């Protein structure tokens, strides 16, 4: 299908459900092979179905990136605080 195609919610849910059913039926098959097979059957790009699957899997979608982003901000604040404390100690020791 051409790029820029908008899929409705029902189609999206059906495609993800088909992928999940295939994964449970053919457990020895790789995720990549399952996605390629289902994407071919429903007539959509592999990458789109892969993204939808990631988004529908609990704990994998946005949660990981949000957690990493918040952890990154926290660590940057902690580093800045440690640098300020280090400067204070250096100036006091001089």
pLDDT band at 63 (very low <50, low <70, confident <90, very high): low
How confident is the model over 5-13, as a mean pLDDT? 90
pLDDT band at 46 (very low <50, low <70, confident <90, very high): very high
pLDDT band at 34 (very low <50, low <70, confident <90, very high): very high
- Surface-to-core class of residue 53, CB atoms within 10 Å of its CB (0-12 exposed, 13-18 middle, 19+ buried): buried
The whole-number pLDDT of residue 65 equals 57
CA gap 19, 87 in Å, rounded: 56
Q: pTM for this structure?
A: 0.56
Task: Assign 3-class secondary structure to 23-47.
Answer: HHHCCCCCHHHHHHHHHHHHCCCHH
The whole-number pLDDT of residue 3 equals 62
């Amino acid at each position: 299908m051409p790029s820029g195609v908008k899929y409705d919610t029902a189609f999206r849910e059906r495609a993800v459900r088909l992928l999940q059913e295939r994964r449970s039926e053919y457990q020895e098959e790789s995720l990549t092979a399952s996605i390629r097979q289902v994407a071919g059957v429903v007539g959509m790009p592999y990458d789109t179905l892969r993204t939808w699957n990631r988004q529908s899997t609990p704990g994998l979608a946005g949660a990981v990136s949000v957690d990493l982003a918040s952890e990154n901000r926290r660590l940057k604040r902690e580093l800045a605080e440690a640098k300020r404390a280090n400067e204070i100690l250096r100036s006091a020791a001089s």
